[in-house]
């Protein structure tokens, strides 16, 4: 498995995004955070999914909406 497909736990993902684990749990519950993988009862994140989630939220102007950046 390449490093971008490496599975990391919620704590490592939270550290990567500089958020609390509670925020990560809330995002997952609402479906607004990075994609995740369930391994039994464990939650894991692919680094590539986290990077893609960040990329989709990158904007170049405060006047542009998320849908504007899809092009």
pLDDT in tens, 16-36: 999 999 999 999 999 999 999
Q: Could you give the number of structural domains in the chain?
A: 1
Average pLDDT over residues 32-56: 96
Residue 66 in domain = no
Residue 33 in domain = yes
For residue 39, what are the domain limits?
Answer: 3-56
Residue 56 has pLDDT above 50, yes or no: yes
Residue 65 in domain = no
Residue 67 in domain = no
64 confidence band (pLDDT: 50, 70, 90): low
Sequence-separated contacts (24+) of 4-9 with Cβ below 8 Å: 4/46, 4/47, 4/48, 4/51, 5/46, 5/47, 5/48, 6/46, 6/47, 7/37, 7/39, 7/44, 7/45, 7/46, 8/44, 8/45, 8/46, 8/47, 9/42, 9/43, 9/44, 9/45
Residue 71 in domain = no
Q: What is the CATH number of the domain that holds 8?
A: 1.10.10
Q: pTM of the prediction?
A: 0.77
- In this prediction, residue 62 carries a pLDDT of 79
- In this prediction, residue 4 carries a pLDDT of 72
Residue 68 has pLDDT above 80, yes or no: no
């Amino acid at each position: 498995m390449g490093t971008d497909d490496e599975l990391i736990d919620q704590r490592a993902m939270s550290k990567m995004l500089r958020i609390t684990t509670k925020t990560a749990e809330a995002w997952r519950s609402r479906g607004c955070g990075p994609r995740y993988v369930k391994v039994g009862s464990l939650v894991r994140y692919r680094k590539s999914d986290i990077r893609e989630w960040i990329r989709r939220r990158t904007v170049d102007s405060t006047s542009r909406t998320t849908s504007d950046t899809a092009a």
